[in-house]
Amino acid sequence: MHTVKEAAQITGLTEHAIRFYTDKGLVPTVRRSEHNVRLFDEQSINWLFGVRCLKQSGMPIEAIKTYIDLCLQGDPTVPERSAMMKKHGEEARRQLEEAKRHVAHLEEKMLLYEEILAGKTPDTTNPATWERMRYMHGDVFYASTVLQEK
Amino acid sequence: MHTVKEAAQITGLTEHAIRFYTDKGLVPTVRRSEHNVRLFDEQSINWLFGVRCLKQSGMPIEAIKTYIDLCLQGDPTVPERSAMMKKHGEEARRQLEEAKRHVAHLEEKMLLYEEILAGKTPDTTNPATWERMRYMHGDVFYASTVLQEK
DNA sequence: GCTTGCCTTCGTGTAACACGAAGGCTTTAA
DNA sequence: TTAAAGCCTTCGTGTTACACGAAGGCAAGC
């Protein structure tokens, strides 16, 4: 049995957030001690992980609440729950693809900066490089004397 | 030259967001027509893409503003800018890893639901499966008669 | 008996917009 | 020529998912 503090350490959520979630009914298995202290067993911890996953992958709290309420109703709601997870899974995959693109973009930018710091002048004779710099990393060279005009 | 509406279509941002960004100075190359209409050239569109990338990968607007102001100051700020992108790149990679885990988690959940809908009972004699269900997908089977006790 | 840790409610603040209203200027089409 | 469409502004309110602090209370350990 874990307290809020421990649950926070385990899940990486804040105590505030955990109280917030339990109060909203997102952790149906949480219990209280005789002195009103929230007690999380392993199952509750796992609900927390589930909520964290859904939330961090972009599902609004209200939708998470809806999903959890469906879970509590048992088998008859399986089709609906399945549909929800399928839909949200697609959304999460879209976000993952975006995230990959963002990381790639940032990595290119970092490489350019590293080269400049290393004293290298980017190879502007390579049209591909030139295009990339001009169109994707104009910020790196904005107001720059490293890359002379033309 | 593009209007706000066109810029919105090109970048996938809303007109509201674009006005918000330009007003905050996040698109330094944007100009106004003689009648005060925002005009975006290709470079401005690319600033927008850059801002979008930074924002969507979790950088707060204020930090983006700081970065852009450094860009405007030219070469002397290259080390600082480089450091910022390096740090934020790491953050973005962390988020990417998390996103991967979330997608994997959701995919497992979806598979379980699909199997239930297909009439399959999960193989609880396999301890690994059992553990996964019990500890990672308790929600799927909460209040379920599909998976009998024990 | 004091500190520590948990609880509660209250109230305010935050980010990054969303949305609508009101009012004003232009350009274009009927 | 007048009406509609598209851009602009400022104003004001609403939203989400908490963060943070304060005040007050109960319970356990030293």
Interface test with B, best of A65, A132, A139 (most B CBs within 10 A): A139
User: Taking 70 as the threshold, does the pLDDT of residue A148 lie above it?
Assistant: no
The pLDDT value given to residue A134: 73
B68-86 confidence digits (pLDDT tens): 999 999 999 999 999 999 9
Domain at B1-72, CATH from 1.25.40.10, 1.10.1660.10, 3.20.20.140, 3.40.630.30: 1.10.1660.10
Segment A69-78 mean pLDDT: 95
Q: Are residues B51 and B66 in contact, defined by beta-carbon separation less than 8 angstroms?
A: no
Our measurement of CA B20 to C1' C28, in angstroms, reads: 29
Nearest residue to nucleotide D28, by CA–C1' distance, is A35
Residue of A nearest to B82 (CA): A113
> Which chain A residues are within 8 Å of B73, Cβ to Cβ?
143
Segment A79-99 mean pLDDT: 96
At A31 the three-state DSSP class reads: strand
The DSSP bridge pattern shows strands B38-39 and A31-32 to be unpaired
B33-70 confidence digits (pLDDT tens): 999 999 999 999 999 999 999 999 999 999 999 999 99
Please give the share of chain B, as a percent, with pLDDT higher than 70: 97
Structure tokens at A46: 């796992």
Q: Sign of the C-alpha dihedral, residues A51, A57, A63, A69? A: negative
Which of B46, B57, B105 has its CB closest to that of A106?
Answer: B57
Q: Is the CB of B70 under 7 A from strand C?
A: no
For residue B34, the surrounding DSSP H or E stretch is none
Please give the share of chain B, as a percent, with pLDDT higher than 90: 82
Contact assignment for A143 to B46 by CB distance below 8 Å: no
The pLDDT value given to residue B68: 97
User: Taking 80 as the threshold, does the pLDDT of residue B19 lie above it?
Assistant: yes
**Residue ranges covered by each domain of chain B:** 1-72
User: Which carries the bigger pLDDT value, residue B132 or residue B40?
Assistant: B40
User: Which carries the bigger pLDDT value, residue B28 or residue B148?
Assistant: B28
Our measurement of CA B37 to C1' D26, in angstroms, reads: 63
